[in-house]
Chain A
């Protein structure tokens, strides 16, 4: 062991984007595995297809823009975009759905704004919101947990040769939305009563939580956004659940339902479109959490991660402006509030 120290900075990690992005890809491993276990091959097919499309479209756009294709592909960012969108899509998705979403995410949400680092919105969530708004039926065709289609059925769904109607069932969030306020019906739906939260989805969220903790441990992400996000979702849920536990779902159901953990650790933490000061990140995460709870409880859509993240992407520059840290030796500038 060498005891001679060179001059600072003593960085242990390689600071290249590709290495960070690869860590994010590895961290989605448990979530992807659990999604495949509970919902069948569809998710795996989605993710593979989404990544293939993402890389192909990125290479095409880079060529058209006259950029170095090999160099920009090596930052792996587009793989993460495709991966996150693939993970968010229902396992019954036909090929064209993924294609449209990923192509829109890469071309419009990323490259029309100038490429990696310039996009104000999270590309994967732009693609998701586009699909949800345009194809609401296909986008809500989730499979009932553990009611796994065979591999050939999954392939048929992917190729568009089978109708998802035969496989799809309501998710816990859907079920709760439908029956909120009716205590008897809520007690009668098994899907709402897993070990800790909605059946099936609890394990998906636990797996993404595990992956997220790995990212935290590797210092790929900071704790501010996920902590703010989960607190912002759990606190209003807790308060309203204590007041009326038939009308409002309990906090654990929110935390381990839908896309909560994927959103908190993988989507909201996108370094390009999130707020950048630590205080700003806390507020950013918390407001995403609150928005998700509000939309889930009162809005028109069963889940809300995409919309909440996009809305707060819009607010991130303002948050950064008002939460800029004080420069050493200077007074905190007066920005009107705070």
Chain B
């Protein structure tokens, strides 16, 4: 077993293997609830909690469950954690719980969570699994908040509206009215706005990756020029 590289786990979760923009997993909640920052953040935090805890638990029991029953066991663990999260949200952020509605129980079916349990937590020790769950969850959360921000800004002309649903009365005046007397752009709030928004985020990420790759190419040693012939067979002498 190779050395566990926490930097790599972090980079994977946040950027190079981001669940939302690279694996394109968990699209149902991603597209459905990101109408505002607070909705995106609420669901993102719930998913982050479930993902971290499920990675931890799956990693703990990875040596005691057999190959054949692992999937039912993972699903049971995830379902239990989601039920717990749902109850916590019902208790502390009741209005947000009502807004997110069916999408909280649906976290159970979020492929990211089962995917990380199966492909990482079940094969790695506890601490790396915990870090992986946290980083993947954070990567997902960031995209949810970003998409929620884009759609809220374009759709309603505000940012951070109704944050008190998540953070209590302290956050009641966090709302920023970016555009005064905004007419509202319903399209961004409706599902098609989410698809196009996510597409733009993925395109932006690919653009940045392309720039980084291009910069790396420039710094690499230049290819030797001056070979007289191109040989297609055998070894170049």
Contacts and interface: CB of A to CB of B under 8 A. Distances in A.
The answer to whether A and B assemble together is yes
B185 to A, nearest CB: 5
Interface in B172-231: 183, 185-187, 190, 192, 196, 199
| Residue of A100, A108, A130 ringed by the most chain B CB atoms within 10 A | A130
A10 to B, nearest CB: 46
Contacts of B186: 133-135
Contacts of B185: 100, 134
A333 to B, nearest CB: 34
A135 B155 CA distance: 12
Contacts of A133: 186-187, 190, 192
A31 to B, nearest CB: 28
Nearest to B203: A112
Overall SS of chain B's interface: helix
Nearest to A136: B186
Contacts, number: 13
Contacts of B183: 135
Nearest to A97: B183
Contacts of B199: 112
Interface in A82-106: 100
Contact of B196 (A100, A108, A134, A135): A108
Nearest to A133: B187
A130 B187 CA distance: 7
Interface in A125-140: 130, 133-135
A134 B185 CA distance: 6
Interface string A106-120: 001000100000000
A55 to B, nearest CB: 24
A100 B185 CA distance: 10
Contacts of A112: 199
A287 B115 CA distance: 42
A130 B185 CA distance: 10
Contacts of B190: 133
Nearest to A130: B187
B228 to A, nearest CB: 34
Contacts of A135: 183, 186
Nearest to B187: A134
Interface string A199-228: 000000000000000000000000000000
A128 to B, nearest CB: 12
A108 B187 CA distance: 13
Nearest to B199: A112
Contacts of B192: 133
Contacts of A100: 185
A96 to B, nearest CB: 8
Nearest to B196: A108
B181 to A, nearest CB: 12
A100 B186 CA distance: 13
Contacts of A134: 185-187
A99 to B, nearest CB: 13
A100 B187 CA distance: 11
Contacts of A130: 187
A172 B61 CA distance: 69
Nearest to A96: B183
A100 B183 CA distance: 13
A242 to B, nearest CB: 39
Interface string B23-67: 000000000000000000000000000000000000000000000
Nearest to A100: B185
A112 B183 CA distance: 26
Nearest to B188: A134
A300 to B, nearest CB: 14
Contacts of B196: 108
A138 to B, nearest CB: 9
A1 B185 CA distance: 63
A49 to B, nearest CB: 18
B215 to A, nearest CB: 19
Contacts of B187: 130, 133-134
Nearest to B155: A134
Nearest to B184: A134
Nearest to A104: B187
Contacts of A108: 196
Nearest to A131: B187
Interface in A117-167: 130, 133-135
A109 to B, nearest CB: 11
B151 to A, nearest CB: 13
A134 B199 CA distance: 20
A133 B183 CA distance: 14
A251 B183 CA distance: 38
A134 B155 CA distance: 9
Nearest to A138: B183
Given A108-B196, A133-B187, A135-B183, 10 more contacts: A100-B185, A112-B199, A130-B187, A133-B186, A133-B190, A133-B192, A134-B185, A134-B186, A134-B187, A135-B186
13 contacts: A100-B185, A108-B196, A112-B199, A130-B187, A133-B186, A133-B187, A133-B190, A133-B192, A134-B185, A134-B186, A134-B187, A135-B183, A135-B186
Name the 4 nearest CB pairs between A and B, nearest first: A134-B187, A134-B186, A134-B185, A130-B187
